[in-house]
Amino acid sequence: MFDPFNDFDDAGYLRNARKDKDLVVIKHMEHNLFRANLKDAFDYLSRQEIIEYADFMEVHRVLFGDYYPWAGQDRLVTAPHLLVSKAGTQFCEPHTIRLAVDQGLRLAQHNEQMPAVPGEIMGLCAYGHPFLDGNGRAMLLVHMELAYRAGFSIDWSATEKSDYLSALTHEIESPGNGMLDQYLAPFMGPRVERGQLVGSALSMRGLDGLDDENRIEGDLRDESVAAKYRQFDEARNYSYRIAGAEDDSTYPDNRDLDDDEDRESGPSPG
């Protein structure tokens, strides 16, 4: 059982508002909330001139805030020392979540690479994996809005979940090599009207969340766990700098994993 708060017996799965413990009930509750709040989340995104990290957080809050009191907060706030994986796929450690997600947003908007590398952009957000649950659904909405602004759409109803997840895993492990771009290419087409985005989102298979749970790989204050993560991240061999970008600034990727000070999510000063 994925229990980063260590209070499942008293508070239920991830401190949900009803203290539910049955994962089938929980996943159906999440899916019902996703369906009910999907339009509000798209409406929120449509009002933002530029999609930023804080907007990614807000989409999650809009979708799941009625069930999870921590919705809209990333793992740097909710589980700052834990290394998390899912179905054997490793995600980045909490201090570099924003580094990965910001890179994807910057590629899509400031470097206008969304039509060329939609898979790389999705892979960066997936590697960031900001939330304890609901990452795929929040990420999908942001990705669809970015695609809409870039003038195209992806026919998610035609994708196969297992093939997509396999390509996404390869993208996370070896980013920027075009693996997920190649998978998505046959499903790319003209932009759909904004009013059709809700139906398009609901057409993606597997949105009920009934799949593998997140898993805690260990505490990053344990040097062996931190070393395991560093080895994985170094093997990815991915640079967060964009050649020729007007703003080539980035966040340091060597932050102290033993830093006990929790940091709130949101735009960085300046």
Per-domain residue ranges for the chain?
Answer: 85-236
Neighbours of 116 (CB within 10 A): 14
- CA dist 32 and 194 (Å) reads 22
pLDDT score, position 206: 59
Cβ distance 265 to 57 under 8 Å? yes
The pTM of the full predicted model, rounded to 2 decimals, is: 0.87
Q: Give mean pLDDT, residues 158-164.
A: 89
Q: In what order do the strands lie in the sheet with 82-86?
A: 89-90, 82-86, 214-219
Tell me the residue length of the chain.
270
Q: Which of 161, 138, 2 is nearest to 65 (CA)?
A: 138
CATH number for the domain whose boundaries are 85-236: 1.10.3290.10
Q: Tell me: pLDDT of 259 over 50.
A: no
41 phi, psi to nearest 5 deg? -65, -45
Contacts of 175 (CB under 8 A, 6+ apart): 120, 123, 124, 127, 236, 238
150 phi, psi to nearest 5 deg? -90, -5
Q: Tell me: pLDDT of 247 over 60.
A: no
Percent of the chain predicted with pLDDT > 90: 77
Q: Tokens at residue 6, please?
A: 């260590």
- The answer to whether the Cα torsion of 27, 165, 175, 50 is positive or negative is negative
161-173 and 223-236 helices, crossing angle to 10°? 100
- CA dist 240 and 250 (Å) reads 7
Q: Give mean pLDDT, residues 210-221.
A: 84
2 or 267, higher pLDDT: 2
Q: Tell me: pLDDT of 18 over 50.
A: yes
Q: Which of 1-5, 12-16, 86-90 is predicted most confidently?
A: 12-16
Q: Tell me: pLDDT of 102 over 90.
A: yes
CA–CA distances in Å: residue 188 to residues 124, 149, 153, 191, 198:
19, 14, 6, 9, 17
**Count of alpha carbons within 13 Å of 114, Cβ hemisphere only?**
22
